[in-house]
Amino acid sequence: MLIGIDASRTSKKEKTGVEWYAYHLLRAMRKLPSAHSFRLYTRDPLPFSMPPAWEERVVAWPFPLLWTQGGLSMEMLRHAPDILFVPSSALPFILPRRSVTTIHDVGFLQERSYRSARELSYLDWSTRFAVNHATKVIAVSEFTKRELVRLYDAPPEKIVVVHEAHAHAVPFTEEAVQEIRRTHQLTRPYLLFVSRIDSRKNVGTLIEAFRLLKKRKVFDGDLALVGPLGFDGADIIRQGGTGAYGECIRHLGWISEMEKNALLQAAVAFVFPSLYEGFGMVILEAQSRGVPVICSNTTSLPEVAGRGAYGIDPNDPESVAAGVSAVLQDSELRHTLVMRGRENAKNFSWDRAARETLEVFEQAANTH
């Protein structure tokens, strides 16, 4: 059969969760033996080479927005594949007979105060449209599947859980790590956070917990915040920089994957008190690089982190500070978290995710 795939997100330069998911999944899928042919739809040239059975189709659309609903819908109307796969919940209006989509989370329902009414309406509509019209829905965690069943009355048999994964950890030499640290002026020990910088990711609480650690003289180092600014990220960074110990709070912005991996490798600990995650890929990245992880004990994060993380209450700065303090001051605990984290990360791979995703396509093809 001909499998069409929306690959538009793989070409984005500054990738975050959904874009990295699409990128790594398709790169792994290229390597799998398959009797099927593939057509990848994109707005810009793809950032990887194509196997012989794969076709790249650039779909023109004259407007900056609504490429999925406009350009991709028109492509489905003219040249529909046997199955269309969209690695996010935004399916086009016009669909072939069979379609598969990935829904990463429904966190927007918990973030109403952070989004405009128009944005909330579109996200809610697109998720409901996907649940109702896709032949199969991939959820990236058991938690996300439960949320779709609970909040959107999704039939459980329609939803297949395929876990995300993490990029293979390539260790850096000490010289390379130190050079990257100097580039970002991280000359002292540091705690690391990687994600979008805004209230949805609970960065304000993390900064408050960091100030408690500094005030109590638990940690004589910096807090490094890596990621693009979200809706109120500029305010958070400004307030963090002007408050107590502001000179120790460093926002590095978006950085390359190479830089991120080097900074993960050298971090004292990775701290991730996010309020809501459908998966939390960066947890596995930290674990695979031998970094002790302190993360929220809510939503999907216990499912992803397994026994390889110290769980904290993300709503309580004291809990976050206590978790970091425990890990910093107990060398046996640190060692245990690192060992368990490495083992846990081995349970997730993009090769496995690609195989299971192809199986979902085949299930969809056989759905009546």
Asked if residue 139 and residue 21 are part of one domain, the reply reads yes
Q: Is the pLDDT of residue 236 over 80?
A: yes
Distance between CA atoms of residues 172 and 178, nearest Å:
10
Q: Is the pLDDT of residue 42 over 80?
A: yes
**Which residue type is seen at 325?**
S
Closest CA to 275 of 293, 294, 298: 298
The two structure tokens encoding residue 152: 């959107």
Asked if residue 72 and residue 102 are part of one domain, the reply reads yes
Asked if residue 215 and residue 102 are part of one domain, the reply reads no
Asked if residue 326 and residue 254 are part of one domain, the reply reads yes
**Phi then psi for 207, rounded to 5 degrees?**
-65, -40
Asked if residue 314 and residue 193 are part of one domain, the reply reads yes
Q: What is the pTM of this model?
A: 0.93
Asked if residue 84 and residue 7 are part of one domain, the reply reads yes
Per the CB < 8 A criterion, the answer to whether 273 and 314 are in contact is: yes
User: Within 13 Å and on the Cβ side, how many CA atoms surround 255?
Assistant: 20
Asked if residue 183 and residue 71 are part of one domain, the reply reads no
Asked if residue 316 and residue 227 are part of one domain, the reply reads yes
Q: Is the pLDDT of residue 113 over 80?
A: no
The predicted-structure confidence for 173-195, as pLDDT tens digits, reads as follows 999 999 999 999 999 999 999 99
Asked if residue 107 and residue 209 are part of one domain, the reply reads no
Asked if residue 285 and residue 252 are part of one domain, the reply reads yes
Asked if residue 299 and residue 197 are part of one domain, the reply reads yes
Kindly report each contact of residues 220-223 with a partner whose C-beta sits within 8 Å and lies 24 or more positions away, as own/partner. Answer: 220/188, 220/189, 221/188, 221/189, 221/190, 221/191, 221/248, 221/268, 222/186, 222/188, 222/189, 222/190, 222/191, 222/248, 222/249, 222/250, 223/190, 223/191, 223/193, 223/248, 223/249, 223/250
Got the DSSP string for 309-327? SEEE-TT-HHHHHHHHHHH
Asked if residue 183 and residue 60 are part of one domain, the reply reads no
Supply the range of the domain harboring residue 133.
2-165+349-365
Per the CB < 8 A criterion, the answer to whether 305 and 326 are in contact is: no
Distance between CA atoms of residues 259 and 327, nearest Å:
24
Distance between CA atoms of residues 210 and 52, nearest Å:
52
Domain count, the chain: 2
Can you tell me the mean pLDDT for 87-114? 91
| Domain CATH code at residue 152 | 3.40.50.2000
Q: Which residue has the higher pLDDT, 114 or 235?
A: 235
Give the model's confidence band at 11: pLDDT under 50 very low, under 70 low, under 90 confident, else very high: confident
Q: Side by side, which strands form the sheet with 37-42?
A: 54-58, 37-42, 2-6, 83-86, 98-103, 136-139, 159-161
| Percent of all residues in the chain with a pLDDT value above 90, rounded to a whole number | 82
Q: Is 49 helix (H, G, I), strand (E, B) or coil?
A: coil
